[in-house]
Amino acid sequence: MPRAIVLNPQDNVATLIDTGEAGVACTLQGEADGTVTLRSAVPFGHKVCVRATPAGGDILKYGQVIGQASKNLEVGDHVHIHNVDSARGRGDKPGARS
């Protein structure tokens, strides 16, 4: 069973510490308990949504905003550049951090 770690209780994403396949339950560790069923394959080091997040909603990791959802995210969705607008290193976006 793949594992993912939640680094802060406020986070709405967990980082996979094992590769996970679609339809497989992923065990949450760290600041969360339970499992999340992966809706698609998620590579090692990528994120999975652990709380439903609307389009435009903040993506939280380490208790910090790292981006905004570019579409509605459901629990178990692979969270990466295809559905998140990064808030880091963006000089064109007010409030972006480098």
In a domain? residue 93: no
Tell me how far apart the alpha carbons of residues 50 and 34 are, in angstroms, rounded to a whole number: 10
Secondary structure letter of residue 38 according to DSSP: -
Could you tell me the CATH number of the domain that includes residue 56?
2.30.130.110
Element (H, E) at 26: strand 25-30
| Residue 13 maps to a domain | yes
Q: Above 70 in pLDDT, residue 96? A: no
pLDDT of 21 above 80: yes
Q: Which residue type occupies 68? A: Q
pTM for the full model? 0.87
CB proximity list for 11: less than 8 A, separation 6 or greater: 31, 32, 50, 60, 61, 62, 63
Tens digit of pLDDT for each residue in 30-80?
999 999 999 999 999 999 999 999 999 999 999 999 999 999 999 999 999
* 91 within domain boundaries: no
57 part of a folded domain: yes
Residue 98 included in any domain: no
Provide the domain limits for residue 29.
Answer: 3-86
* CA gap 81, 35 in Å, rounded: 23
Please state the domain count of the chain.
1
DSSP-assigned states of every residue in 46-72: -EEESS-B-TTPEEEETTEEEEEESS-
